[in-house]
Amino acid sequence: MTGGTVVEDVAERIAFAIASGRLRTGERLPSIRRLAEEYAINPSTVQLVLGQLRAAGFVETHHGVGAVVRDVEAYGGVETWRYLFRFSRRLPDLAERILRDVLETLRMFYGSVLDKIEGRPGAYDPAPARRAWRRLDMLAKDEKATPADVHQCVLEVLRAGCMAVGGGVFLGVLNSLGPMLAEVPEVLDAVFDAPGVHVWWWDQLIGAWEAGDLGPARQAIELLDDWHADVLGRLRTAFDGPRD
Evaluate if residue 1 carries a pLDDT over 50. Answer: no
Helices 32-39/43-55 angle, 10° precision = 100
How far CA 48 is from CA of 10, 45, 111, 126, in Å, comes to 10, 5, 42, 46
Q: Are 239 and 186 in contact (CB under 8 A)?
A: yes
Residues 6 or more apart whose Cβ sits within 8 Å of residue 182: 148, 151, 152, 188
CATH topology of domain 3-76: Arc Repressor Mutant, subunit A (1.10.10)
Superfamily of domain 91-239: GntR ligand-binding domain-like (1.20.120.530)
Q: Which of 202, 53, 55 is nearest to 129 (CA)?
A: 202
Domain with CATH 1.20.120.530 in the chain: 91-239
The b-or-e profile of 107-145 (16+ CB within 10 A means b, else e) is bebbeebbeebeeeeeebebebbbebbeebbebbeeeeb
pLDDT at 13: 95
pLDDT at 193: 92
92-133 pLDDT, tens per residue? Answer: 998 899 899 989 989 999 999 999 999 998 999 999 999 999
> How confident is residue 11, by pLDDT bands cut at 50, 70 and 90?
very high
pTM over 0.75: yes
Question: Region 11-39: what's the mean pLDDT?
Answer: 95
| 145-163: average pLDDT | 95
CATH 1.10.10.10 domain residues, the chain: 3-76
Residue 243: pLDDT over 70: no
Residue 195: Cβ-neighbour burial (10 angstroms; 0-12, 13-18, 19+): buried
- Mean pLDDT lowest among 18-27, 33-42, 174-183, 202-211: 174-183
Q: Are 82 and 183 in contact (CB under 8 A)?
A: yes
The β-bridge partners of 68 are: 28, 60
pLDDT of residue 241: 63
Mean pLDDT within 162-190: 87
CA 124-208-202 angle, 5° bins: 95
d(C-alpha 223, C-alpha 202), whole Å = 12
